[in-house]
Amino acid sequence: MIRGRTTRVQVRLAKFGVAAVGAAAIALAPSPEGLSTAGQYALATMFFAGSLWVTGTLPLAVTALTIPVLLTGTGVYDDMDTALAGFADHLIFLFMAGFMLANAIQKYDIDRRIALYTMAKMGSSPRRLIGAVMLSTAGLSMWVSNTATTAMMTPIAVGVLSQVLSSEDVVAVGDAAADEANAETVADGGLAQEDRFTNMQIAMLLGTAYAASIGGVGTIIGTPPNAVLVGQLNATLGYEIGFVDWLLIGLPVVAVTLPLVWYILTYVLYPPQIADVDEAQEQAYEYLEEEDGLGKRGRRVAAIFAATACLWVVGGLGSFLNPYLPNAWMNTLFGGDGATVLGIDGHQGLLYYVMVGVAAIPALVLADTMEWDELVDIDWGTLLLFGGGISLANALADTGATEWIAKTVFGGLTGTPVVLVIAAVVLLVVFLTEMTSNTATTSIIVPILIGLGGIFAATLGLSEFMTAIFLAVSGTIAASFAFALPVATPPNAIVFGSGYVKQSHMLRAGTILNVLMTGVLTVLIWGLFEFVWPHLLW
């Protein structure tokens, strides 16, 4: 045990040393043309943090804390307050509020009830049962972190599967690969025993992981990469994507890709060979009945969450309500520089989605639904990672390093057709995400994509500002579509760690879906670029 721990420490120190030496080499090398000394030091910081993120040398949040230290220590910023500004970004508090709301939902099993109800109502056939699990997972993942959603849905899926597979009603199919995967169907009422994996089992578990990743794309608070993007766009370009703005982008992506992934899993790769799922539906009903009725406190949480979600949506409808409201009320509710009903000039807007989200937390306490100890049991590490990413993006932008990277690495692609530009961005991000976590990938790649605005503005026929936003959003969406390896996303890791699917199953399905999704996302993002982006950015 001691020897193993010593070896791990030595490996960690070796990786850290490589990152440090590489960063020092970049910092001390002759300055390239067009790059300032401060920009060079910012690039060295990016290399150091990126290396630690990719290799997993330190926890992601711990690595994020090294960023302001290095930025201040190398003189990129002349004071620590500036380097730490990213950790106090208002969007950090939006996600903190989202995490706390999710804690309240989970405390009263509201998410579990929704999932079981969907499965009980929809799961009348094997494919529909898998679809119900995926739909529930994706829907919950829009509001609860995809990691927590997968952790909650996996045991539910396993419990329902145990009822399906105990019947041993397996229908033979002609596909040799499917036959081999199902050759040792469960003979004792359990799930996977040694090498016994059924198509139903594989499709259900992989569907759970993939649906969690896809569902997270739907809302701003659905997945950490979305937070990284929104924070860095606000920090470097001063552009803020509203809650409804993101819905117009994220929901179409979910609506198109989720059914497609379900179809590929259940009709092409792992068609379920089960004749009857009545017992599974009954199991879902039994689970639901065990939950009893939702108590008073649970109903209060549901009401607060529903009100918060509704206000998030209403807060994005200012342009539609503008003709019907006096200017003073518009400024008070939706923000503006003019007079408000409060007798002052200028207002953030009472319906500003960060304000609405943060206000929901005192509401939970006032409603006697949550204690402070329960509220603070959230993923603080992810919030620190957001802050570190914003600080790094600020430094790269302030020193001109992102623009230099963009011109140096991608300058040769100028004039490329827009579809190929999108495809290149999607493919690059999916490939990088397979190698490391999607959050780390987004933290590294988004500043670079923002810097590409000046390179591809003429190609896309947009301003540099709009092009930067477009490319960064495209890359962020792609970061949730890495399906081949457990390390790519937390949902992949959770499902693989459950032991109910093999890495070969995930690799087979993920490789095919990665290729397919690259094409689908390219076309879909191009469509959004043509028909939705103009309404958001013009």
pLDDT digits (tens, 9 = 90+) for 107-130: 888 887 888 788 777 767 888 889
Q: How confident is the model over 283-309, as a mean pLDDT? A: 84
Residues 58 and 171 in one domain: no
CB 123 within 8 A of CB 278: no
pLDDT at 167 over 70: no
Q: How confident is the model at residue 321 (pLDDT cuts 50, 70, 90)?
A: confident
Query: Quick check: is 347 in a domain?
Result: yes
Residues 196 and 325 in one domain: no
Query: Quick check: is 95 in a domain?
Result: no
**Model confidence pLDDT, tens digit, residues 193-238:** 444 678 888 999 999 999 999 999 999 888 888 888 988 888 888 8
CB 526 within 8 A of CB 418: yes
Query: Quick check: is 476 in a domain?
Result: no
Residues 238 and 128 in one domain: yes
> Of all residues in the chain, what percent carry a pLDDT higher than 90?
20
CB 79 within 8 A of CB 72: yes
Q: Could you say which of 47, 68, 83 is where a domain stops?
A: 83
Residues 305 and 345 in one domain: yes
Q: Which helix (H) or strand (E) holds 339?
A: strand 336-339
168: left (phi over 0), alpha (psi -120 to 50) or beta: left
Residues 182 and 47 in one domain: no
**Model confidence pLDDT, tens digit, residues 440-498:** 788 888 888 888 877 777 777 777 888 888 889 999 999 999 898 887 788 888 888 88
Query: Quick check: is 92 in a domain?
Result: no
Residues 264 and 359 in one domain: no
pTM: 0.81
Distance from C-alpha of 193 to C-alpha of 177, rounded to nearest angstrom: 19
Query: Quick check: is 289 in a domain?
Result: yes
Residues 263 and 204 in one domain: yes
pLDDT at 28 over 70: yes
Query: Quick check: is 490 in a domain?
Result: no
Question: Residue 216 has which token pair?
Answer: 């997270």
Residues 167 and 267 in one domain: yes
Residues 282 and 303 in one domain: no
Residues 170 and 276 in one domain: yes
Q: Could you say which of 83, 100, 120 is where a domain stops?
A: 83
Q: Could you say which of 375, 398, 424 is where a domain stops?
A: 375
Q: What is the pLDDT of residue 275?
A: 65
- Judged by DSSP in three states, 144 sits in coil
Domain hosting residue 56, numbered range: 1-83
- Residue of higher predicted confidence among 273 and 414: 273
- Judged by DSSP in three states, 180 sits in helix
pLDDT at 69 over 90: yes
Distance from C-alpha of 357 to C-alpha of 374, rounded to nearest angstrom: 17
Residues 206 and 267 in one domain: yes
Distance from C-alpha of 397 to C-alpha of 391, rounded to nearest angstrom: 10
Query: Quick check: is 273 in a domain?
Result: yes
Query: Quick check: is 499 in a domain?
Result: no
Residues 169 and 47 in one domain: no
Question: Residue 182 has which token pair?
Answer: 């199902």
pLDDT at 25 over 80: yes
Alpha-carbon 297 to chain mean position: 29
**Model confidence pLDDT, tens digit, residues 382-423:** 788 878 878 888 888 788 887 787 777 666 666 677 788 888
Q: What is the pLDDT of residue 535?
A: 66
Q: How many CB atoms lie within 10 A of CB 292?
A: 8
**Domain total in the chain:** 3
- Residue of higher predicted confidence among 18 and 145: 18
